[in-house]
Structure 1
Amino acid sequence: MKKIALALLCLSSLSFAADYDPIRGEMLSLSCTSCHGIDGKSEAITPYIAGMGKANMYQILLDYKNGKRVETMMQKHAKGFSDEELEQISYYFSNIKR
């Protein structure tokens, strides 16, 4: 049973990787640079998001978009993206070394 669960987990991560477009992810992430810095490496009080886990970042962005997290700028910003675009952004930042 554990082997089946592990195989399904691996397959689910591969299915997202096949859909990831690195150029699109990078283009979408440009809207984040004014607050989070180039490649998410903030030098200010805003969070450093480079290297953040894909699933964690995606959930945080969805929470902002759906009003579960409240912070004026992020809530408004996240609402401007589709769920798929937020996934692309999350994948992009997760691939950047801290």
Structure 2
Amino acid sequence: MKKLALSLFCLASMSFAVEYDAVRGEMLSLSCANCHGTNGKSTTTIPVIAGLDKNYMYQKLLDYKAGKSVGDTQMMQKHTKGFTDEELEQLSYYFSKVK
């Protein structure tokens, strides 16, 4: 049982490789504001990204970057290619903490 708990803890802690930097996350998020609104709180038909689960958002951003996501994603594909994977992690952390 202890081995299982330790294994799960190790897997959970490895899901994000970088330490969250709140200032950097907020600065990176400014590039999202034009479409998704201030702090990801869109008031238009563009999706609200504030408060999304960090793991979900990070995977979604990686999918956009790799061209794997479907739908009207041309803008997101272009936008995410301008970020490193580490920067996408910071964005995911930042938006997951916005209430």
Q: TM-score range by the shorter chain?
A: 0.7 to 0.9
Q: Which structure 2 residue ranges, 5 or more long, are not aligned? A: none
In the alignment, the residues of structure 2 paired with residue 15 and residue 73 of structure 1 have an alpha-carbon distance, to the nearest angstrom, of 27
Determine the structure 2 residue equivalent to 1:84. 86
TM-score, with structure 1 as normaliser = 0.87
> Per residue, is there more helix in 1 or in 2?
1
Determine the structure 2 residue equivalent to 1:68. 68
Determine the structure 2 residue equivalent to 1:25. 25
Count of residue pairs the alignment pairs up:
95
Q: Which structure 1 residue ranges, 5 or more long, are not aligned? A: none
The 1:55–1:77 alpha-carbon spacing in structure 2 relative to 1, beyond 3 Å, is same
Identity %: 59
Deviates more, 1:51-60 or 1:67-76: 67-76
Runs of 4+ in 1 over 6 A off after TM superposition: none
Determine the structure 1 residue equivalent to 2:58. 58
In the alignment, the residues of structure 2 paired with residue 33 and residue 83 of structure 1 have an alpha-carbon distance, to the nearest angstrom, of 19
Q: What's the C-alpha RMSD, in Å, of the aligned pairs?
A: 1.7
